[in-house]
Amino acid sequence: MELFATDLERLAFLLEADAALTLDPDTLGSEAAEQSAPEELPPEKRPKYITNYIGSKQKLVDWIWKHTPEGTGTVLDAFSGSAVVAYMYKTKGLQVIANDRLRYCHHAAKAIIENNSVRLSEDEIEALLADNAKAGSFVQDNFKGIFFAKGVHALIDTIRANCDKLSGFKKDIALFGLGKTCMSGKGGFGHFSSSTDYGRRQDTPDEFKDRLRKNLQRINALVFDNDKENKAYRQDINELLPKAKADLAYFDPPYATEFSTTNYERAYHFVEGLMTYWEGLEIKADTKVKYYETDHKTVTKANASEFFQTFLGNAKHIPHWLISYRDHAYPNEQEMKRIIGSFGKQSRMKSKDHHYAITSKHGEASNAKERLFVCAPGAKASAEREEKPAPMAAAANFHTSIPVDIRLGEGERLATEAMDVGSAGDPQFSFVLCRTGTNKNGDHFTAEELSGRHMTAVNKKVDLQHSQEFNDIVGGIVAADYLEDDNGGRVECVGELYVHDTPAARLAYKLMKRGIISQVSMECDYQEGECSICHKRFQNKADYCTHLRKFKGRDFNGQPVFEILHGVTFTGLGLLDRKGADENARILQVASLQSQPDQSQPEGDSTMEDKTKPTDDPAVEAAKKKPAQQEGDPARVSDLEKENRQLKAQVAELQKRVQELEAEQKAAACRSRAKKLLTRLEKQGLSFASEEDREAELKRLAELSDEAFAATEAAYERLPKSAKADKDKEEKPADSDQGGKPAAKASTETPLRSDAGVRPHDVDDRKVSLEDRLRDGFMAAYRNRVGEDSPEHSQINA
């Protein structure tokens, strides 16, 4: 058995324990520390309830309150533990019922939840610490050498005996205080599962007394009356629930993960035994930590589903539920939703980041997310609608697109509903779909909208460019999660690429892996847009107010103008949107340039090149580095590097092919215009000595730059007309298409255009002298040669 679900939890626990220890009594309010029989403190003077109870929701109470339905009168904290959540509700003025099957937890809830006015006086506190000749020696006899420093075992026997002189809430306060003091302390682990020196609290009997005194004062200070009849129970959840009456049940059950379970009675066996002074309990003598046999069943991966199914079934009659839960826990979230829905509730899952500084042993929970299922009564149909949002195409009046950044292969998975649905082996990528607030386009997403509508992204297609083409689909979105953070909230999604089904998906995967596709766009529809200035709502762009029409995304009288989107439906992720496409083209080019040297080498022989020479492209560099840092596995790194090289070669190959095609096309067009010119000139009387000469001239003309060609053409036009006329006569029958006015045509109309349309429009053949044109033609040819360094281009014979 492990006490903490994760190492992180253990760390958090220890940090909290330290925090509790270093808490200055002054923070309790000076009255609390000074008064011998303190009275109720005004709310602002009341201390914060600090606890180091395992799995305590101390840090999440504000969040839990935020998601508490309005109008809740009575709340049941069904697994109350430290009672920190119950206490929060008490301060909010609700009637509170707290329940936990542990005695220690029950005394805590009696002391600060049910109890509205009873406190220990200073004398009573001192009496608890006084010697007692009649005290037993159970702790000294059974726990010698473990958990506490020398002398403390006897002190605990004494204090425990003194507790029995008290009764009612006073005794609850005393036992709660004693248990709390035993749990924490300098050193030790907070729980009682280690018999080692590390597991031993170091404080001396005097220090222990001092802490107990402070703890009792603190508990005194927490006591207050919220004018409600609050109640504490110590029952098994399934005994209590059928008869419990409340508007809301808050459930924070023990949870099981792949690697661990938490059995609270085991973890706290010493304190739990101390509460009854082990009455009726049998210590297992052969155990190092001397725990007693317990019949409390541990929630494990195997029985978790059944456990939830049973207790939630017993809570059907309570209209609202809030269920605390962790990612990576069992039952998984999909199963949780199913169970909740099966009892006629609709649910929304809220998530909150838990920032831990270190990674756990299992690599688990470093990004642990706290979950909260907010469940309300609802028709079954609406629960289903929540899971598979109906397309809102008919109702959608607007459409917009949101740029998003994608991440691939970071091993970071979101464990949300549809997570397990994807076929095995399809690579996943994650991306932040959308954040609360205003984006570059002036679209504004509220937390309400995103938390309510994020699931519409699930089961939407990932395609190449938002086309409707079936062949463009390369994947799908399998999970979406709304996370609250310091900046508001964000929707995180997981997409999957169907690499086994389409080559396009494979290419997309590779491009993403290399960082070549990193910015993509998400499309969304929405029903109504609201102006941030005049707050008018529109269902049609034609009706927009002036603010939205003219200033959306900008300022109006110093106020930002944005459109608040209502009724959002996410419709799909496009990998190559227009902006993305430009960006990708740029990166592709860079990649291809950089891979040129590789091409001169035989395939697979470019290792040196790639390993030694960094590229300038951060994306390519990052893609090369990432796996190395993350995996630390040389074989994998070299695999990835090889793949990287192959991909770059592929990209370069494609790029080259495109260039070749373009060149071919251009050459064909140039040859065609050269041919036409030559034919025309021959008609005008030009002749060649041999077929080779003619071919050479054709080649020369075809290879001229546009400018040089234009000049040459213009120069040829001025050849003596007589020659042309003679030729005309001879060749008339064959020259049907040029009719009787070839000369006029040549001299008065726009010169011939090549098929490719490359003939510059601004070459005016008539206004410039022959000499000028020849010079121009020469210069153009010269520039052409210098530019292209091709000897064939160096002459011009006109």
Ligand X SMILES: C[S@@+](CC[C@H](N)C(=O)[O-])C[C@H]1O[C@@H](n2cnc3c(N)ncnc32)[C@H](O)[C@@H]1O
Angle at CA 451, nearest 5°, toward 446 and 457? 105
Smallest gap from Cβ 231 to ligand X, in A, equals 15
Phi, psi of 49 (to 5 degrees): -80, 115
Q: Which does 254 bind (CB under 5 to 8 A by kind): ligand X, Zn ion, none?
A: ligand X
Burial of residue 229 (CB within 10 Å: 0-12, 13-18, 19+) is exposed
Radius of gyration over alpha carbons of the chain, in Å? Answer: 40
- Would you list the DSSP string of 344-389? TEEEEEEEEE---SS--TTS-STT-EEEEEEEEE--HHHHHHHHSP
545 binds, among Zn ion, ligand X, none (CB under 5 to 8 A by kind): Zn ion
Q: Both tokens of residue 534?
A: 């005049």
Q: Is 85 in the site for ligand X (CB under 6 A)?
A: yes
Nearest approach in angstroms of CB 60 to ligand X is 8
Q: How far is the CB of 115 from ligand X (least distance, A)?
A: 18
Label each residue of 593-609 as H, E or C: HHHHHHHCCCCCCCHHH
Contact with Zn ion (CB under 5 A) among 534, 622, 663, 770: 534
Work out what residue 192 binds among Zn ion, ligand X, none; the CB cut-off runs from 5 to 8 Å by kind: none
**In a 10 Å sphere around its CB, with 0-12 CB exposed, 13-18 middle and 19+ buried, how is residue 657 labelled?**
exposed
Q: Does 328 bind ligand X (CB under 6 A)?
A: no
Choices 99-107, 113-121, 341-349, 407-415 (CB under 6 A): range interacting with ligand X = 99-107
Rounded to whole angstroms, what are the CA distances from 213 to 33, 138, 587? Answer: 10, 23, 68
CB distance 254 to 80 below 8 Å? no
The answer to whether 292 and 269 are in contact (CB under 8 A) is: yes
Q: How far apart are CB 300 and ligand X at their closest, in Å?
A: 12
Site string for ligand X, 105-134 (x = CB under 6 A): x-----------------------------
Instruction: Specify the stretch interacting with ligand X by CB under 6 A; choose among 52-60, 109-117, 220-228, 690-698.
Output: 52-60
3-state secondary structure of 576: coil
- Nearest distance, CB of residue 318 and ligand X, angstroms: 15
Is residue 252 a contact residue for ligand X (CB under 6 A)? yes
Give the N- to C-terminal CA distance of the chain in Å, as an integer.
97
Stretch of 50-58, 122-130, 570-578, 695-703 contacting ligand X, by CB under 6 A: 50-58
Q: Which two tokens stand for residue 255?
A: 């949870």
State the binding partner of 698 from Zn ion, ligand X, none, CB within 5 to 8 A by kind. Answer: none
The owner of tokens 């000074």 is 34
Counting residues that bind Zn ion (by CB under 5 A) gives 5
Phi, psi (degrees; rounded to nearest 5) at 394: -65, -35
In angstroms, the Cα distances linking 296 to 154, 242, 266, 468, 638 are 29, 20, 9, 57, 52
Interface mask toward ligand X for 595-634; x: CB under 6 A: ----------------------------------------
Instruction: Quote the least distance from Cβ 414 to ligand X, whole Å.
Output: 23
What Å distances lie between residue 614 and 133, 592, 621, 639, CA to CA? 80, 14, 7, 18
Q: Which of residues 356 and 782 has its CB atom nearest to ligand X in the complex?
A: 356
- Find the part of the chain contacting ligand X (CB under 6 A) among 156-164, 249-257, 531-539, 555-563: 249-257
The label of the residue with tokens 């009496």 reads 127
- Give whichever of 7 and 252 is closer to ligand X, judged by the CB atom: 252
Q: Min. distance of Cβ 110 from ligand X in angstroms?
A: 15
Binding of ligand X by 101 (CB under 6 A): yes
314 lines the binding site for ligand X (CB under 6 A): no
Q: Tokens for 501?
A: 């089904």
Provide the minimum distance between the beta carbon of 263 and ligand X in the complex, in angstroms, as a whole number.
Answer: 8
Shortest distance, position 566 Cβ to Zn ion, whole Å: 15
Can you tell me the distance from the alpha carbon of 789 to that of 453, in angstroms, rounded to the nearest whole number? 62
Binding residues for ligand X, total number by CB under 6 A: 20
Count the alpha carbons within 13 Å of 612 in the hemisphere toward its beta carbon: 6
* 189 versus 208: smaller Cβ distance to ligand X: 189
Distance CA 494, CA 457 (A): 10
Please choose, out of 75-83, 369-377, 457-465, 709-717, the segment that lies near ligand X by the rule CB under 6 A: 75-83
Among 447, 533, 581, 756, indicate the residue that binds Zn ion (CB under 5 A).
533
Binding status of residue 531 toward Zn ion by CB under 5 A? yes
Binding letters toward ligand X, positions 350-389, x by CB under 6 A: ----------------------------------------
Judged by CB under 6 A, the residue of 34, 141, 236, 653 near ligand X is 236
547 in contact with Zn ion (CB under 5 A): yes
Does 554 interact with Zn ion (rule: CB under 5 A)? no
Count the Cβ atoms, other than its own, within 10 Å of residue 744. 10
Shortest approach of Zn ion to residue 403 CB, angstroms?
Answer: 25
Could you list the residues that contact Zn ion (CB under 5 A)? Answer: 531, 533-534, 545, 547
Could you list the residues that contact ligand X (CB under 6 A)? Answer: 53, 55-57, 79-82, 84-85, 100-102, 105, 236-237, 252-254, 264
